[in-house]
Amino acid sequence: MLRRNVRLRREYIYRKSLEGKERLLYEKKRKIKEALEEGKPIPTELRNEEAALRQQIDLEDEHTAVPKTHIDDEYANAAERDPKILLTTSRNPSAPLTQFVKELKFVFPNAQRMNRGGQVISEIIETCRAHDFTDVVLVHEHRGVPDGIIISHLPFGPTAYFGLLNVVTRHDIKDKNAIGTMPEAYPHLILNNFSTKLGQRTANILKYLFPVPKPDTKRIITFANQSDYVSFRHHIYEKRGGPKSIELKEIGPRFELRLYQIKLGTMDQSEAQTEWVIRPYMNTSKKRKILGD
């Protein structure tokens, strides 16, 4: 199994190394295509390669014309099977953190919770790869308050690091009759205001934690971005007064997410390349929106 993972990782890195060459070739073909369509002469630097590039252009279709990236490969097979998630915590978790992770287990369908014990991250990731887990979710705390969550996609990444704020668990809500029971049906997702390229990347990381729901599911999970703070809300709806009368009921938990880093690798790879990280000077740029408008 270890040799297989090493081989797969080597193949993945090799595909990444080819991206620069493929992008350069794509730019050359695009210049030739534009020159032919506009009736302009072929650029001087491409005249020696014109015949070979024209032949490649003729063989392309809409699926092969634009080169794909390693980012496309990460979630290329995500829709073929339901996600399988491992939930765990930092070492020696407090009672509030353990309660919060128990509730997250019901939020994410097909999730399994594991007591961390003395296991190191590399052992957890290796075990998850061997048992076909698609994601590992690790929740951190500070003095009993959940303050961070790491989502690592397997087998190659990416890994997203979020800050957790304003966590309100179902356990904290005193009126249990008002919130009702937690359903286990696959939820519909609402992803609001992830309009930038980084926003779409973040939305993909969150979206593929959930399987495809049935059309008549009455459970809704919302990730709403405002000023780069992503609000998580969990509702069910009922149509008591007919099809036009919809009653929403929040069933918890609720929290805010703040993205601060994405790495092109899994959680255990310290050498993984950083795709994006928040910098101190970004906080002073109040008008700049990273994830959406």
Least Cα distance to 129 among 161, 166, 156, 94 occurs for 156
The pLDDT of residue 292: 80
The pLDDT of residue 219: 92
Using CA atoms, how far apart are residues 118 and 90, in angstroms rounded to an integer? 10
Using CA atoms, how far apart are residues 214 and 26, in angstroms rounded to an integer? 40
Domains of the chain by start residue, with CATH: 1-67 (no CATH), 85-277 (3.40.50.10480)
Considering only 57-71, 113-127, 245-259, which range has the smallest mean pLDDT?
Answer: 57-71
161-189 pLDDT per residue, tens: 999 999 998 877 766 666 667 888 999 99
Is pTM beyond 0.85? Reply is: no
Q: Which residue has the higher pLDDT, 289 or 160?
A: 160
**AA identity, residue 238:** E
The pLDDT of residue 66: 61
SS3 115: coil
Considering only 22-26, 121-125, 184-188, which range has the smallest mean pLDDT?
Answer: 22-26
The pLDDT of residue 72: 57
Evaluated on CA atoms 153, 209, 139, 88, the torsion sign reads negative
DSSP string for residues in 157-200? --EEEEEEEEEE-GGG-S-HHHH-----SPPEEEEES--SHHHH
Confidence of residue 286 (pLDDT cuts 50, 70, 90): low
DSSP string for residues in 11-72? HHHHHHHHHHHHHHHHHHHHHHHHHHHHTPPPPGGGTTTHHHHHHHHHH--TTTSSPP-HHH
| Residue 152: C-alpha distances to residues 54, 89, 251, 266 (Å) | 42, 13, 26, 6
Considering only 80-84, 124-128, 241-245, which range has the smallest mean pLDDT?
Answer: 241-245
Count of C-beta atoms within a 10 Å radius of residue 73: 13
Confidence of residue 102 (pLDDT cuts 50, 70, 90): very high
**Calculated CA dihedral for residues 191, 249, 166, 193, nearest 10 degrees:** 20
> Going by DSSP bridges, is the β-strand pair 247-250/254-264 parallel, antiparallel, or unpaired?
unpaired
Confidence of residue 75 (pLDDT cuts 50, 70, 90): confident
DSSP code, position 137: E
Is residue 130 pLDDT above 60, yes or no? Answer: yes
Using CA atoms, how far apart are residues 152 and 137, in angstroms rounded to an integer? 6
The pLDDT of residue 77: 76
